[in-house]
Amino acid sequence: MNKPTTVCALCNNPPEIPCPTCQDTQPLYCSSDCLTRDHPIHKLVCASFATLPAKPSGGEGGGAKHVLGVLFPSSSPDPELVWVRIGGFTDEESGISFQEAEVGDFLQVDSNHKGVPAPESLHSERNRLRNRDTRSMLEIWHVKSDKLAENLCVKTLAATTTATSEEEEEEEKEGKPFYNWRGSILIIFMTRSTGFMIDPGLYRDCQLQDFRDAVDFVVDYGNDVHDRRVQEALDTLGTTTTTTNTGTGSQPEVLQEKEKEKEETAAGQVEQQQQEEELLSKDNIIIAEMSG
């Protein structure tokens, strides 16, 4: 079911070895060390990937389909692989088809939670925890409301997720997620769009690296250390630019001085050539008079 991954699920090195237990032959890890470190998270769905039930049929007319997503239940410590029904429609004016995920069954709010808003979605194409692009675009569905219980699944995952550096270990909030997720969370995966009205992207099945990206997103969401790093990099770039422009003059000024020097040199050469031609002309006149 899984296509080859381009990087190790835990780090960014090329993958060389597969998981030995989930019956997937594609390389997922670069080393036995990464396999061991990822095992506390990977084992949560390892057996599920190996024993997935058949994908549901498209229903009447075959107009709908299903894709494999990841559910982070509010009241359970373990994530689940679920089949999500995908509907859609075709824009009459452009003729472009759009897909719609039917997420309500996974994010249902009981009658005791009156006034709870409808589910909303986030999108991400970057695993900031591991500093890489995600394999798929993540579409994260959740209900944003303080009336819902804290998400037990994400809290459990945060206590077991492996940081990627000593700096990130220092930033960990004692095994707690950075964002206080409430209610269940559903993540489904899409191909990257090339333009909303040209190629809106298509939903596709979750794969093993997608699962790792999904876990990293819910655990790391709200971690401002990444924003600080970007700002520090921008500040450093700004300082370098300022130093370059104020040391011996800005780049445009230096170029102008060089162009001016070239022009002056060329003008001097022309003037010298004119003087030599005048002297040569005078010498020719004197020689002609002496000969006469």
Task: Write down the pLDDT at residue 249.
Answer: 44
247 inside domain = no
**In a domain? residue 16:** no
Q: Is residue 40 part of a domain?
A: yes
Q: What is the pLDDT of residues 150-170, one digit of tens each?
A: 999 999 999 887 555 444 444
pTM of the model: 0.72
State residue 15's pLDDT score. 92
Structural domain includes residue 226: yes
Answer whether residue 282 is part of any domain: no
Give me the domain span that covers residue 109: 32-233
Token code pair at residue 82? 């679920």
pLDDT tens by residue, 194-221: 555 566 678 999 998 899 999 999 999 9
Q: Is residue 208 in some structural domain? A: yes
Angle (CA) 226 232 236, round 5°: 150
51 domain-assigned:
yes
What's residue 52's pLDDT? 85
Q: Return the pLDDT at 275.
A: 65
The pLDDT, as a whole number, for residue 255 is 45
Give every CB contact of residue 73 below 8 A, 6+ residues apart in sequence: 79, 80, 151, 152, 153, 184
Helices (H), the chain: 32-50, 152-158, 166-171, 208-220, 225-247, 251-291
Residue 101 exposed, middle or buried by CB count within 10 Å (0-12, 13-18, 19+):
buried
Domain count, the chain: 1
Q: What is the mean pLDDT of each run of 10 residues along the chain (292 residues)?
A: 69 90 83 92 88 77 78 94 90 82 83 76 92 93 92 92 51 71 95 64 90 94 81 73 45 49 61 62 48 48
Farthest-apart Cα atoms in the chain, separation? 126
Instruction: Tell me which residue of 153, 160, 175, 178 sits closest to 79, measured CA to CA.
Output: 153
169 located within any domain: yes
